[in-house]
């Protein structure tokens, strides 16, 4: 398909070279207790320990650096539930570029404070995708800034795909990987990387309850009705209801059609399991993948002995845990 010419292993490997000097190679952890409980070898990719506290820096950096290769940039602007905003603000600061970040009013204070710390201007929108996108485009036009999309841009997708390359380099024998999905940039990019490096690997998407991704994946077309909306979920990083126009076809081609759906209490329990067994503080979007491992362990084929879990972020309000 045509989208694969814009997101492929060559493009992702180019992204690796482009951003490598700016990011951490995040560690992989295991828990003997979890391995025993699920009777598999489970590898946790600790992207919550990435700079800015999530995988989002990979996509934001690659996107901005790609834009700089092809044009002059007066500044950058984006809309975000928090993590992409932090990543874009940090990347812009590294590259001495002004940044504006649009976030919903409900964005956790910890994420807003980080965006301001990195020197970006922050604007608040209403808690709808339409509101934050409209404000983002308005500010881009008024300031002559370049939009850095959080997921529906091949430069972002390819940047997120570098995580898949890195993970498989660290654990070459992975049989399956569980990835939390919102707009789909991480899942799409990692699917391209992982399936090109190992066509037999299975990529399972993890969603908050109510996203209803499985019906559309199985149909191979978008079955959602109406405009984009925000889901009612404790995971602010997974609020986007529908994956992007660019990410969805990639998921249709490469991800498993079985979607692992988890509820708010299950995501909270996933965060607690990470603290209990890994001694790692993660946010609810990452807790979703941990929860899915336990909830859907019997759905994953028994021959998949080595399971990867991407802990996508760690920007959680710690006060809410105490």
- Looking at residue 70, its pLDDT comes to 87
Question: In sequence order, which residues have a C-beta less than 8 Å from that of residue 292 and are 6 or more positions away?
Answer: 178, 204, 206, 260, 262, 270
Name the domain boundary from 124, 147, 170.
Answer: 147
Rounded average pLDDT over 145-155 = 96
Q: How confident is the model at residue 322 (pLDDT cuts 50, 70, 90)?
A: low
Name the domain boundary from 90, 112, 147.
Answer: 147
Name the domain boundary from 147, 173, 192.
Answer: 147
Which residue range(s) make up the domain with 127?
56-147
- Looking at residue 7, its pLDDT comes to 86
121 and 38 in a common domain: no
197 and 228 in a common domain: yes
32 and 165 in a common domain: yes
Q: Scanning the structure block, which residue is given the tokens 């905003």?
A: 85
Contact 29, 46 (CB under 8 A): yes
165 and 136 in a common domain: no
Rounded average pLDDT over 133-137 = 95
Rounded average pLDDT over 124-128 = 89
- Looking at residue 2, its pLDDT comes to 43
Contact 113, 127 (CB under 8 A): no
In a domain, 249, yes or no: yes
In a domain, 301, yes or no: yes
212 and 138 in a common domain: no
Total count of domains within the chain: 2
In a domain, 229, yes or no: yes
Query: What is the distance between the alpha carbons of residues 115 and 135, in angstroms, rounded to a whole number?
Result: 17
User: Which 3 state secondary structure label does DSSP give 150?
Assistant: coil
Query: What is the distance between the alpha carbons of residues 232 and 165, in angstroms, rounded to a whole number?
Result: 32
293 and 207 in a common domain: yes
| Domain CATH number, residue 139 | 3.40.50.1100
Q: Which two tokens stand for residue 109?
A: 């204070």
Query: What is the distance between the alpha carbons of residues 282 and 33, in angstroms, rounded to a whole number?
Result: 18
In a domain, 179, yes or no: yes
315 and 273 in a common domain: yes
Contact 242, 228 (CB under 8 A): yes
- Looking at residue 34, its pLDDT comes to 98
199 and 218 in a common domain: yes
Catalytic residues: 56, 81
Q: Which two tokens stand for residue 61?
A: 């950096």
191 and 107 in a common domain: no
Q: Which of 61, 31, 57 is nearest to 43 (CA)?
A: 31
In a domain, 69, yes or no: yes
pLDDT of residue 51 exceeding 90: yes
33 and 130 in a common domain: no
Torsion, Cα of 249, 250, 256, 258 (10° steps):
-40
Q: Which two tokens stand for residue 248?
A: 């969805």
pLDDT tens digits, 230-255: 899 999 899 999 999 999 999 999 99
User: Which 3 state secondary structure label does DSSP give 305?
Assistant: coil
The whole-model pTM stands at: 0.95
Question: In sequence order, which residues have a C-beta less than 8 Å from that of residue 32 and are 6 or more positions away?
Answer: none
Q: Which two tokens stand for residue 265?
A: 């209490």
Q: Scanning the structure block, which residue is given the tokens 């800034």?
A: 145
In a domain, 152, yes or no: no
100 and 234 in a common domain: no
pLDDT tens digits, 75-104: 999 998 789 999 999 999 999 999 999 998
Q: Which of 75, 73, 57, 74 is nearest to 18 (CA)?
A: 57
306 and 212 in a common domain: yes
Torsion, Cα of 214, 216, 218, 219 (10° steps):
160
């Amino acid at each position: 398909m045509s989208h694969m010419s814009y997101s492929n292993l060559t493009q992702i490997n180019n992204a690796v070279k482009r951003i490598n000097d700016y990011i951490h190679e995040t560690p992989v952890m295991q828990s003997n207790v979890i391995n025993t409980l699920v009777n598999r070898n489970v590898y946790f990719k600790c992207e919550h320990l990435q700079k800015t506290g999530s995988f989002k820096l990979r996509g934001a950096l690659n996107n901005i650096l790609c834009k700089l290769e092809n044009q002059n940039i007066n500044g950058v602007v984006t809309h975000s539930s928090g993590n992409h905003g932090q990543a874009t603000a940090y990347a812009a600061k590294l590259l001495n570029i002004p940044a504006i970040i649009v976030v919903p009013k409900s964005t956790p204070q910890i994420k807003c404070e980080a965006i301001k710390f990195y020197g970006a201007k922050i604007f608040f929108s209403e808690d709808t995708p339409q509101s934050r996108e409209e404000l983002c485009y308005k500010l881009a036009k008024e300031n002559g800034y370049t939009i850095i999309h959080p997921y529906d841009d091949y430069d972002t997708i390819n940047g997120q795909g570098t995580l898949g390359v890195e993970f498989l380099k660290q654990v070459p024998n992975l049989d399956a990987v569980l990835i939390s999905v919102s707009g789909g940039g991480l899942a799409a990019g990692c699917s391209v990387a992982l399936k090109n490096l190992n066509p037999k690997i299975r990529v399972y998407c993890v969603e908050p309850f109510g996203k209803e991704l499985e019906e559309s994946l199985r149909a191979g077309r978008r079955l959602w009705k109406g405009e984009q909306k925000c889901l009612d979920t404790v995971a602010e990083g997974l609020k986007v209801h529908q994956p992007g126009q660019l990410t969805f076809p990639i998921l249709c081609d490469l991800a498993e059609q079985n979607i692992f759906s988890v509820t708010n209490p299950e995501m909270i329990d996933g965060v607690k399991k990470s603290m209990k067994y890994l001694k790692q503080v993660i946010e609810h979007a990452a807790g979703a993948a941990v929860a899915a491992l336990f909830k859907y362990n019997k759905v994953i084929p028994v021959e998949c002995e080595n399971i990867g879990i991407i802990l996508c972020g760690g920007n959680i309000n710690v006060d809410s845990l105490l």
